[in-house]
Amino acid sequence: MLEFFNLTQTIHIIVIVGSMSLFTIGLYGVFTQKQLVKVLVSFSMMEMAVFLFFIGLHYKESFTAPILDNNIQTFTNMVDPVPQAMILTTIVIGLAILALALSFGIEYFKLTGTNDISKMNELKD
């Protein structure tokens, strides 16, 4: 019964549905939230969904992580290392961008005293 969950197809379906659900929750947050910090956290959630999607879609049945150890001596039957390396750098970039956006938000709150994105209309005047 539990063998079913090791199949590549099953894992792919779970990854697609789960990560896109997380993406949708983040999208809903971006649509509806008024606080700037909540909007930024929603963007971060959408980012995480894309990370999960990229990593999970390269799962293959009976393939191992691309690292040698005492039992695995050759680079065969291993999953693709490129998406993992790409997501590794992207996570750090996402962290830096989130911190930069939060610092902009803090400065905006200090200047105007509001954190509500529906009241941000300085460019209109």
Tell me which DSSP letter residue 116 carries: B
- When asked if residue 120 is in the footprint of another protein (CB under 8 A), the reply is no
CB atoms within 10 A of CB 97: 14
Phi-psi region of 62 (alpha: psi -120 to 50; beta: other; left: phi over 0): left
- When asked if residue 27 is in the footprint of another protein (CB under 8 A), the reply is yes
Q: Which residues contact 30 (CB under 8 A, 6 or more apart)?
A: 39, 42, 43, 46
- When asked if residue 37 is in the footprint of another protein (CB under 8 A), the reply is no
List binders of another protein among 53-92 (CB under 8 A). Answer: 57-58, 60, 65-69, 74-76, 78-85, 88-89, 91-92
Name the site residues for another protein (rule: CB under 8 A).
Answer: 13, 16-17, 20-21, 23-24, 27-28, 31-32, 57-58, 60, 65-69, 74-76, 78-85, 88-89, 91-93, 95-97, 99-100, 102-104, 106-107, 110
